Amino acid sequence: MESKIKVALDVDGVLANFYKTVCKKYDKPYETVKEFYVSWLTKVWMSDLQNNYDFWASLDVLNEAYNISFDFDMYLTSIPDDVFSARVDWLYKNGYPSKPVEISHQKADFCIKNKVDLLIDDKPQTIEQCVKKQVFAIQFVPYYSEMPFKTAQTVRHLYEVNKYIEVIQKFKNIPNLSKEWKDIVYDDFHRFSFLNFKNLVGILHLLLVQCSTAEQIWETVNRWEADRLYRHFTKQCRTFPDYVQNGIFALTESCKDSL
């Protein structure tokens, strides 16, 4: 039986437009931002916003509830603890799905501890930590943002998340995958295109799930060598040829005992 992946969704900068709300409140220009920490905003945060229930409960909406076209398990937010109730009230008032709301200021560690498979977040520093700690994370890029990308996997629309969930679900249900291959998959996810990641997971799924014997694995690998599909993979995935030479055959060998 396949186990469902666990997905966490950030709120500020993904669902709530914190930046627009604070610009209006302090009569600041609502302009493109190139870094997460803006000096004037940091000052008012410390003096006025941290524990201001009314501010957090009245944030502008960035993505409406109907923009969330995928299932997820929780909201993962770094809102100050003292205004947790404002977060819950804001989500309810704006009609978002009823899900648990979790607070964490170290989201990568939270994901590891709570076995979250995928995080959608806008903060570059959070994404960077996820990359270092091998957590699948998609960087949501609001329309007002020109902040640096910390992963190859970025989206500007929430509907784009669906394709990632499908492939990560497939990856999670590959049995007997070695740590070395898991490292390769996580590395590919954050460094190369979605197509590269999707193809690699598809290959591993075919070898370890759809092939039930070592002989079938060998037949599949040999068929690739003379098939257009194999040549397609080697052209589209920059790293795949190295995997074939150094890893696929070792993978099939290591699988023989478990098949």
Backbone angles phi, psi at 185, to 5 degrees: -65, -45
Instruction: Tell me what pLDDT residue 46 has.
Output: 62
DSSP 8-state symbol, 173: T
Q: What is the pLDDT of residues 188-224, one digit of tens each?
A: 898 888 888 888 888 778 777 766 565 666 566 566 5
- Better pLDDT: 8 or 230: 8
The confidence score (pLDDT) of residue 217 equals: 60
Domain boundaries, the chain: 7-165, 174-258
More confident residue, 108 or 253: 108
User: pLDDT at residue 233 above 60?
Assistant: no
Is 142:62 a contact under the CB 8 Å cutoff?
A: yes
Instruction: Find the mean pLDDT for residues 58-77.
Output: 97
Query: 64 by DSSP, 3-state: which?
Result: coil
Higher pLDDT, 202 or 107: 107
Residue 112 makes CB contacts below 8 A (sequence gap 6+) with 133, 135
Mean pLDDT of 219-233: 54
The full 3-state SS of 191-245, as one line of letters, equals HCCHHHHHHHHHHHHHHHHHCCCHHHHHHHHHHHHCCHHHHHHHHHCCCHHHHHH
Average pLDDT over residues 170-199: 85
The residues with which 138 forms a beta bridge, in sequence order, are 120
Residue 238: per-residue pLDDT: 44
Give yes or no for residue 113 having a pLDDT over 70: yes
What confidence category does residue 247 fall into, taking pLDDT thresholds of 50, 70 and 90? very low
Per the model's pLDDT, the better-predicted residue between 204 and 56 turns out to be: 56
Check residue 128 and give its pLDDT.
92
Residues 6+ apart with CB under 8 A from 166: none
Taken in order 54, 55, 57, 60, the sign of the CA dihedral is positive
Lowest mean pLDDT among 65-74, 140-149, 241-250: 241-250
Q: Which helix (H) or strand (E) holds 137?
A: strand 136-140
CATH code for residues 7-165: 3.40.50.1000
- Single-letter code of the amino acid located at 103: I
What value does the mean pLDDT take over residues 71-100? 96
**Mean pLDDT computed over 56-60:** 96
**CA separation for the pair 49, 152 (Å, rounded):** 33
Instruction: Find the mean pLDDT for residues 174-189.
Output: 83
pTM to 2 decimal places: 0.82
Residue 29 banded pLDDT, cuts 50, 70, 90: confident
Cα 34 from Cα 69, distance rounded (Å): 28
DSSP tally for the chain: helices H, then strands E: 13, 8
Tens digits of per-residue pLDDT, 127-167?
999 999 999 999 999 988 787 787 889 999 999 999 999 99
Residue 142 burial (CB count, 10 A): 17
